[in-house]
Structure 1
Amino acid sequence: MSLLSVVEEALRPDHESPQKNTVELQASGITLEVVDDLYSDRVRCDHPPSDVDGNALGESLVELAEDCGRGRVVALVDAGLAPAMEETGFELEGVIPGFYRGEDDCAVLGYGVEEARMDLAHEEAVRAADKVLQRPWPAFDLEKAPAHISELATLKDAQEIADLLGETFVDYPTPSSDPEYIAEQIESGTPFRIIREGGVIAACASADLVPEALTAELTDCATRPSHRGRGLMQSILHRLMLDLQEMGYPTAFTLARARIPGVNRAFQKLGFKHRGRMARSCRIGKGFEDMNIWSTVITQP
Structure 2
Amino acid sequence: MIKTVKNSGVTAVIDNDRFNKRIRVIRYEGFIQEALTDIMTAAEEEGAEKIIVYTKQHDEAELAKQLFTPEGFLEGYYLGHRASVMVRYLTEKRRQTDTYLAEQEMIELLYKTKPQPQIEIKSPFTMRKAETNDMYQLSMLYKKVFRTYPAPVFDPAYIEKTMNEHTLYYVMLEDDRLIGAASADINPELGHAEMTDCAVLPDYRGRSLTSILIDVLEKEMIKQDIFQVFSLARAASFGMNAVLYHSGYQYSGRLINNCYIGEGLENMNIWCKRL
Cross-structure match for 2:235: 258
The verdict on how the C-alpha distance between 1:71 and 1:186 changes in structure 2, with shifts beyond 3 A counting, is closer
The residue correspondences of 1:12-91 to structure 2 (distance < 5 A) are: 19-20=1-2, 22=3, 24=5, 26=7, 28=8, 30=10, 32-49=12-29, 51=30, 53-58=31-36, 60-66=38-44, 68-91=46-69
Q: Which residue of 1 aligns with 2:215?
A: 238
**Cα distance change, pair 85–269 in 1 and its aligned pair in 2 (3 A):** same
SS in 2 for 1:282: coil
TM-score normalised by the chain length of structure 2:
0.88
Shift of 1:184: 3.4
Match of 2:244 in 1: 267
Q: Aligned-residue CA RMSD in angstroms?
A: 2.5
The secondary structure found in structure 1 opposite 2:74 is strand
Name structure 2 gaps, 5 residues minimum.
none
Aligned length: 274
Equivalences for 1:1-301 in 2 at 5 Å? 19-20=1-2, 22=3, 24=5, 26=7, 28=8, 30=10, 32-49=12-29, 51=30, 53-58=31-36, 60-66=38-44, 68-101=46-79, 103-139=80-116, 141-143=118-120, 145-149=121-125, 150-188=127-165, 190-283=167-260, 285-298=262-275
3-state SS of 1:191 partner: strand
- Superposition deviation, residue 209 in structure 1: 0.5
On the 8 A contact 1:209/1:215 being kept in 2, the answer is yes
Structure 2: which amino acid aligns with 1:181? Answer: Y
TM-superposed CA distance for 1:207, in Å, is 1.3
Distance in 2 between residues matched to 1:198 and 1:129, nearest whole Å: 37
Unpaired segments ≥5 residues, structure 1: 1-18
Distance of aligned partners of 1:66 and 1:189 in 2 relative to their CA distance in 1, 3 Å threshold = closer
Q: Report if aligned partners of 2:182, 2:198 keep a CA contact under 8 Å in 1.
A: yes
Deviates more, 1:110-119 or 1:193-202: 110-119
Contact 1:40 1:288 in 2 (8 A): no
Identity, in percent, stands at: 26
1:281/1:47 Cα in 2 relative to 1: closer, same or farther (>3 Å)? farther
Paired residue type of 1:74: I
Q: Report if the CA contact (8 A) 2:12-2:35 is conserved.
A: no
Q: TM-score, normalised by structure 1?
A: 0.81
SS at match of 1:287: coil
- 1:206-257 Cα shifts (integer Å, max 9, x gaps): 1110111111111111111111121100000011111111222111111111
Deviation by residue 1:32-79 (Cα, 9 ceiling, x = unmatched)? 442443432322221122x1x233344543454345443221112333
1:46 alignment partner AA: I
Task: State the AA in 1 paired with 2:217.
Answer: L
| Alpha-carbon distance, 1:202 to partner | 1.1
